[in-house]
Amino acid sequence: DQSHLAYSVGITLDRFIKLKQSDFPFASGELSQLLRDIALAAKIVNRETNRAGLANIGGAFGQTNVQGEEQQKLDVIANIRFMRALSKGGEVCAIVSEEEDAVVDLQNNSGKYVVAIDPLDGSSNIDVNISIGTIFSIYRRKSPIGSPILLEDIMQPGSEQVAAGYVLYGSSTMLVYTTGFGVNGFTYENSLGEFFLSHPDIQAPKSGTIYSINEGLQLEWEKGIADFVQSCKEMKMQSRYIGSLVADFHRNLLKGGIYLYPSTLKNPSGKLRLMYEANALAFIIEQAGGKASEGKQRILDIQPKNLHQRTPLIIGSVELVEQVERMMNPME
Ligand code: AHM
Ligand code: MG
């Protein structure tokens, strides 16, 4: 088994990034450094996540602990850690984060990259010890280096991503990323403090038997979605839904399946955010041979209009996503 071999040979994330640096058209090392900055913040968040129960940092934001220090929720801590890593690193000029209302302009005009990030997704799972994740997208700025950032640097469609990835804080912690040359996964080895290549060149199965959707919202779905889920049941597929996007996505990526967060009556654009949830996973699934759609359109082709805009997300094995698209658009 190839992945086991790579693991036992021990290719660390740092070494892998270095080996792959020549893949980049502008191989000056900044993107490599940026990926390493993200990996470092991920290690810190992993540590905080692991001791969340012990350190009593799973509690509500705003409370103070016995030392009188402000107690912070883990998603706030994660945001601070990633913000710090990205701003100290020097490669980034602006950040869009789920935890920040506005664009964070780092006032670093020499930074080449813009990062969109959900520092800790699946927040409802934090307090109950279920997998959570970090999701990130990296774009090259459009405006000239050395000048102040412009709106066009920020509002780029997902097709412009130069790299994207996620960290899954699960039964193991993993970092999975792409720079547009396939998808590779790394597993964190706690005692060594390193990510090791464990899942080289991940390929999404063309089809699968898993479907993941919040069925509690069934009465709010449009007909195509309801028809698809009914067909999953008729085929006796497996229903699996953690309610933690990274974890649901990761399982389906490896095993074959589909994740859906469709439009509902209450939320016509669904729940998930285009810029820091959907786009990164869409880039990854396409790089792995799968597909991501909002029903009609490719996720990566959506031109964002505002930072926190939502999009329906149908993502996973190519044959299953295409089946949903056909059921949602029966006249075409
Ligand atoms: P969050 O950004 O507030 O954590 O919400 C995103 C999460 C995803 O991880 C998950 O897939 C989805 O919300 C679950 O939503 P629901 O509880 O409506 O099924
Ligand atoms: Mg989120």
What is residue 124's predicted lDDT score, i.e. its pLDDT?
Answer: 83
What is residue 175's predicted lDDT score, i.e. its pLDDT?
Answer: 98
What is residue 54's predicted lDDT score, i.e. its pLDDT?
Answer: 67
Which residue is it, tokens 């086991």? 4
Query: Residue 124's Cα: distance from chain center in Å?
Result: 17
Q: Which long-range contacts (CB under 8 A, 24 or more apart) does 295-300 make?
A: 295/224, 295/262, 295/263, 295/324, 295/325, 295/328, 295/329, 296/325, 296/328, 296/329, 299/158, 299/274, 300/157, 300/158, 300/159, 300/161
* Residues 61, 81 contacting (CB under 8 angstroms): no
Closest residue by Cα to residue 276 from 103, 129, 149:
103
One-letter amino acid of 280: A
Which residue is it, tokens 């996540």? 49
Q: Hey, which of 245, 274, 275 would you mutate to test ligand 1's pocket, going by the most ligand atoms within 8 Å of its Cβ?
A: 245
Q: How far apart are CA 22 and CA 152, in angstroms?
A: 27
Closest residue by Cα to residue 78 from 113, 126, 115, 112:
126
Q: How far apart are CA 287 and CA 301, in angstroms?
A: 15
Q: How far apart are CA 88 and CA 65, in angstroms?
A: 29
Q: How far apart are CA 38 and CA 86, in angstroms?
A: 7
Bridge partner list, 259: 212, 315
Bridge partner list, 251: none
Residue nearest to atom 5 of ligand 1 (CA): 122
Please return the burial class of 1, using the count of CB atoms within 10 Å of its CB with bins 0-12, 13-18 and 19+.
exposed
ipTM at complex level: 0.96
What is residue 56's predicted lDDT score, i.e. its pLDDT?
Answer: 61
Helix (H) or strand (E) holding 171: none
Helix (H) or strand (E) holding 88: helix 74-89
Bridge partner list, 138: 115, 163
What is residue 231's predicted lDDT score, i.e. its pLDDT?
Answer: 98
Bridge partner list, 36: none
* Residues 209, 251 contacting (CB under 8 angstroms): no
Compute and round to an integer the Cα radius of gyration of the chain.
20
Strands 257-261 and 210-212: parallel
**Is the shortest distance between the CB of 244 and ligand 1 below 6 Å?**
yes
Residue nearest to atom 17 of ligand 1 (CA): 243
What is residue 109's predicted lDDT score, i.e. its pLDDT?
Answer: 93
Which atom number of ligand 1 is nearest to the Cα of residue 123?
Answer: 4
* Residues 126, 58 contacting (CB under 8 angstroms): yes
Measured in Å, residue 72 CA sits from the centre of ligand 2 at 17
What is residue 126's predicted lDDT score, i.e. its pLDDT?
Answer: 83
Which atom number of ligand 1 is nearest to the Cα of residue 75?
Answer: 4
pTM: 0.93
Which atom number of ligand 1 is nearest to the Cα of residue 120?
Answer: 4
**Is the shortest distance between the CB of 243 and ligand 1 below 6 Å?**
yes
DSSP code of residue 144: P
What is residue 1's predicted lDDT score, i.e. its pLDDT?
Answer: 45
What tokens were used for 296? 């009609």
Task: Please count the other Cβ atoms lying within 10 Å of the Cβ belonging to residue 70.
Answer: 11
Measured in Å, residue 27 CA sits from the centre of ligand 1 at 36
Measured in Å, residue 243 CA sits from the centre of ligand 1 at 6
Measured in Å, residue 245 CA sits from the centre of ligand 1 at 6
Q: How far apart are CA 218 and CA 164, in angstroms?
A: 31
**Is the shortest distance between the CB of 214 and ligand 1 below 6 Å?**
yes
Q: Hey, which of 73, 121, 211, 311 would you mutate to test ligand 1's pocket, going by the most ligand atoms within 8 Å of its Cβ?
A: 121
What is residue 9's predicted lDDT score, i.e. its pLDDT?
Answer: 62
Residue nearest to atom 19 of ligand 1 (CA): 214
Residue nearest to atom 11 of ligand 1 (CA): 245
Is 248 assigned to a binding site?
no
Residue nearest to atom 16 of ligand 1 (CA): 243
What tokens were used for 74? 């883990």
Residue 71: partners with Cβ closer than 8 Å, 6 or more residues away = 56, 57, 59, 60, 61, 62, 63, 64, 65
Q: What is the mean pLDDT of each run of 10 residues along the chain (332 residues)?
A: 54 90 71 93 94 63 49 84 95 96 95 96 87 97 95 98 96 96 96 95 98 97 98 98 98 98 97 98 98 98 97 98 97 76
Measured in Å, residue 122 CA sits from the centre of ligand 1 at 5
Query: Residue 159's Cα: distance from chain center in Å?
Result: 15
Measured in Å, residue 331 CA sits from the centre of ligand 1 at 31
